[in-house]
Amino acid sequence: MREIKVLDPQTANQIAAGEVVERPVSVVKELVENSIDAGATRIKISIREGGLKLIQVGDNGCGMTVSDMLMAPKRHATSKIENAEDLNSLHTLGFRGEALPSIAAVSKLSVTSRLGESAVGWQVVIENGTINEPVETGCPSGTIVRAESLFYNTPARKKFLKSAATELGHASDMIGRMILSHPDIAFELEHEEKNILKSPGNGDLAQAIFAVYGGDITRKMKKISYHGEEKIIGFVSSPELTRSTRHYYNFFVNGRFVRSPELAAILEEAFYTRIPAKRYPVAVIHFTLDPETFDVNVHPAKLEIKFRNLPALKSSFIQALDDIFRRPADVIPGVTLPFTAPKTQPIQRGKDYPDQEIYQEKFQLVSEEPVYPQKMEVLPSRESEQVRKQEAEKQQVFSNMKVLGQLEGTYILASSPEGIYIIDQHAAHERIRFDKIKKAFCAQPSETEYLAVPGVIELTPQQALWLINNIVTIKDLGFILEHFGENTFLLRGVPRWNSGGNSEELLLAIVEKLGNDDSEQLQMDRLVEEELFTMACKSAVKANRHLTEADIGYLLTQLELSNNPYSCPHGRPVLIKITRKEIEKRFMRS
């Protein structure tokens, strides 16, 4: 066994840096939070090569004295706490005692600062763990910290970093959340001397949202305001605006961004049934709470939080949301749709349905033969007797049905010699839509349909980076885009397999999933299939919708052509059967 030794300061600092400096965004976060705690109202962040070459954070805060500049790079030095009790009631962004020495351990660090009343400033350079003597310099009031050549002395850690665009995306996302958490501070983020993000810093949260997410999202946000024991203010999106991930959940507790499954669950409970499944709202919500009512020390980076009285907070949060999203049952009189009974003769196969406006496809398929989706087993030319029997049984199920009517605008009732069938009209149409869209994708996955009038897409800075980083993949899916300046793009061509669909929403969903996939090995067929599920679900006829006889006939005809007519793409049943024997048993005839 080796002899136990005390590590030298440089090695100890590099080990400590592993806990604080995981990637360039970690450095940006630490330095920006220090600027905020210094009372800055303007903060400028400059980055080169995704942060590996340079990270510079300059502010107009209170500045530092020479003695503070010499003390700050030392381990366990901080102005934010004096004893252990202070950890339980922090009013600043947190304990940053390891930040500067940890950053200095893996970069070439310099700190330049001037107090507001001083005529000159001072600069301190830290090299290889050594704090050089301060040098007088001219500089604006405030502080500028430069970290150059990040991880130059730890090449092993450098190997685990992603591309410069990916690292910049993380920094852009973090600064975006800083803008949303501190709308009273003017932030500016530039990369390679090009402006990425800029906020006015006038205290208007709506303008901060505009700076981060753009006008399209901001216009669809609704303000919430609750003042009780807890103060809850912010904005949530209207039901028409959703995203494919929870990435747009922005919860701030006393100015600190936190990830909270509890708050996310409450938000989703409020939106339940108001938006489609697996779609999520955009939320920017500030909670002002007594520091004694929560604990921020449950996570090393203070990203998670533990509430000491979650039921009370939930009650207040729900009330704040209910003020703008009243439950329909509370404000709209209940309506019971009558049972409709159209003619009971069997639907004739092969006829046209000119009034099938609900189900009119928005694009022309290659052909109308039975659909065999990708990765589903296609029947061999020489079918076994069992397979032929199963196909024959499937045909007989729908061919032998007599439509009896519609129940509560949600279920189709039909009969056959075998018994009674109850068909979920939404699940049935979802299956039909999924099969048709997927068939079109399998036939022409990369074909483009050019638009007569290009669509204008306004992205967030991070979305723009994700798009540019995956532009080849996106082009291979049939999208044709042209950069229109900053974070705006012209959509000139859309996938032929999604012709007539909401291609802008599809593009955003794909960009976000590509950007949020850390493995960088996201399988495109899996990604597209997930989006096809969503497209089929959103375009399918909903419950509480009266259908004509022609509509119902169209559904049954298309189910007959489907390779899997008995379940929707999510695995829920399309129809159930009450057998004749079961009916006779219930009436005590058996």
User: According to the model, what pLDDT value does residue 208 have?
Assistant: 96
The stretch 300-316 carries a mean pLDDT of 82
Q: How confident is the model at residue 498 (pLDDT cuts 50, 70, 90)?
A: confident
Q: When comparing pLDDT for 278 and 136, which is higher?
A: 136
User: According to the model, what pLDDT value does residue 45 have?
Assistant: 97
Residue 257 has pLDDT above 60, yes or no: yes
CA distance 501 to 523: 23
Q: How confident is the model at residue 525 (pLDDT cuts 50, 70, 90)?
A: low
Burial of 343 by CB count in 10 Å (0-12 exposed, 13-18 middle, 19+ buried)?
exposed
CA-nearest of 127, 175, 121 to 147 is 127
CA distance 506 to 479: 10
Sequence letter at residue 165? A
User: According to the model, what pLDDT value does residue 328 have?
Assistant: 35
Going along the chain from its start, the domains and CATH numbers come out as 9-205 (3.30.565.10), 220-331 (3.30.230.10), 342-590 (3.30.1540.20)
CA distance 340 to 412: 10
| Spatial contact of 534 and 438, defined as CB atoms under 8 Å apart | no
User: According to the model, what pLDDT value does residue 52 have?
Assistant: 92
CA-nearest of 79, 143, 151, 76 to 111 is 143
User: According to the model, what pLDDT value does residue 376 have?
Assistant: 32
User: According to the model, what pLDDT value does residue 538 have?
Assistant: 67
Instruction: Please tell me the least confidently modeled range out of 190-204, 314-328, 350-364, 372-386.
Output: 350-364
Residue 395 has pLDDT above 60, yes or no: no
Residue 523 has pLDDT above 80, yes or no: no
Residue 122 has pLDDT above 90, yes or no: yes
Residue 247 has pLDDT above 80, yes or no: yes
Q: How confident is the model at residue 517 (pLDDT cuts 50, 70, 90)?
A: low
Q: When comparing pLDDT for 569 and 195, which is higher?
A: 195
User: According to the model, what pLDDT value does residue 385 have?
Assistant: 58
User: According to the model, what pLDDT value does residue 352 have?
Assistant: 37
Q: Calculate what percentage of the chain has a pLDDT beyond 70.
A: 74
Residue 533 has pLDDT above 60, yes or no: yes
